[in-house]
Amino acid sequence: MNQKKEKKRVDGVFLLDKPVGLSSNTALQKVRRLLNAKKAGHTGTLDPLASGLLPLCFGEATKFSADLLDAEKEYLAEIYFGQKTETGDSEGGVVETKSVCFTQEQLKRGLEKFIGEIEQVPPMYSALKKNGVPLYKIARSGETIERAPRKVVISRMDLLQFDLPKAVIRVACSKGTYIRVLAEDIAQALGTVAHLTALRRVRVGDVKICDAVTLDHFEKISEEERVQMLAPVDKLISSLPKIMLSEQQTERFHHGQKIMLEPQECFGRVRVYGLFGSCVKLMGTAQLSNTGFLIPERLVTFEV
């Protein structure tokens, strides 16, 4: 009888270029098995019909997954104008058709109206829950319930391709933004209807799709090569100001004690590194007060 392979500690971040048709959790479990990793998590889901950047966290990196969950996202979205579907994308049946009669310049001006803070009504076909039941399950039963609008921020929108009835736009937005709903709202403002035919995520915070690896390639290489492809744990918090501690401060911080520092140029949330002999290691995140107190927040566990 084959013995079950014992899972091992793996610390790091894998930047997956998720294919269309795979759920985020399925993708995570596939990569986890390939790494034989004990602990894993992702930084926010990507719809099965969407492709692109899905950062996956392993071991100590899971402590910082919320940093990318809250980060700005960037997408390439292909919109088909003139047809509305029940799901807002190409998976659903067409429920309404309208003529399409706007110019490229009118579309550009229409996009500009959505830049900034806007309100969106979440779609029925979403994972949001009502009394513990996902909305998409309620929608499949033919029922529609009222949803409260939510505020999101669109920081940038660019028209990349214009070939009616299709157009491709680049969208940079806050977490919780539904690009399907955005496409429908843009179409409505132009006097027509629309749905998404393709969606690709190309950026999460400071992490970009150009650094991602396909699942096919990851499957073909050895387990040792897979581990070497992981980005370090601090990849998820690289945008935070960096604090370097002395050996004495390192020992105190390592035991969860707050430290008084010399005046710093920054305050608020920071990433902290310590000296362990000749080695510099990430110790975690902390809050740095404007009076100089460094208060531990999330600490990395490792053997000294």
H helices present in 36-87, as ranges: 65-69
According to the 3-state scheme, what is the secondary structure of 233-265?
Answer: HHHHHCCCCEEECCHHHHHHHHCCCCEECCCCC
Exposed/middle/buried for 125, CB within 10 Å: 0-12, 13-18, 19+? buried
Can you list the alpha helix ranges (DSSP code H) found in 13-93? 24-35, 65-69
**What is the 3-state secondary structure of 151-220?**
EEEEEEEEEEEEECCEEEEEEEECCCCCHHHHHHHHHHHCCCCEEEEEEEEEEECCEEHHHCEEHHHHHH
Q: Is 218 left (phi over 0), alpha (psi -120 to 50) or beta?
A: alpha
Query: 115 and 155 in contact (C-beta within 8 Å)?
Result: yes
Look up 89 and say whether it is catalytic: no
Q: What whole-number distance in Å separates Cα of residue 15 and Cα of residue 303?
A: 26
- CA–CA distance, 15 with 232 (Å, rounded to integer): 11
- In 3D, which of 206, 226, 202 has the Cα closest to residue 271? 206
Query: Which position among 11, 47, 67, 234 bears the catalytic label?
Result: 47
Active-site positions read 47
